[in-house]
Amino acid sequence: MSFRRDIAGMSTVQWAVVCGCSFIIALGAGLGLLTPSPQRLDELRRELLPSEPQKPADQAATRSIGTVQQVPFRICGRGAGDCVVDGDTFWYRAEKIRIADIDAPETEQAKCSSERALGDRAKHRLAELLSEAPFSLEGYGSRDRDRYGRLLRVVYQNGRSVGQILVAEGLARPWHGRRRPWC
């Protein structure tokens, strides 16, 4: 009852304000100005778009990205382009990629000088490996990106994981779901 009384007692100016606000909200929604958050968009995509076809169990954890032509990689610094950040992270075609199957020592946020030295060796070796032959990138597990927004990928070169090459050379260790100290 009080709602009807409120409506009946509104002045022309008050009605104009209510109608104007309603129009602006409808127009904003129609123009896409009022959009859901990125998390809500992901939820809507999962709900509304058909799911991916089921893959055999042995392929479920990987998504092939394709073969990358041989390109020179440098150590990141000034300038844009394909470069290596550290022993398990590099930039390729404006995407930051985290090699998902290894953990390499830090270089910039190293906890001790031995970690920094090993991290520098891993970084330079990764640049060598990526530059010497074409490679392919494959998805890792169910996540596409890490919490920093980097693509999570396993890098394969001539049928071998580049990450496992670094592990075999003592420049990285296998990824076990969390970082461990190097010092």
**DSSP letter (8 states) at residue 181:** -
Is residue 127 within 8 Å of 74, Cβ to Cβ? Answer: yes
- Of the residues 116, 121, 125, 150, which is catalytic? 150
Is residue 34 within 8 Å of 25, Cβ to Cβ? Answer: yes
- Of the residues 98, 116, 121, 153, which is catalytic? 98
Is residue 72 within 8 Å of 82, Cβ to Cβ? Answer: yes
Active site residue 128: no
CA distance 156 to 134: 9
Active site residue 52: no
Active site residue 169: no
Catalytic positions, written as ranges = 98, 106, 150
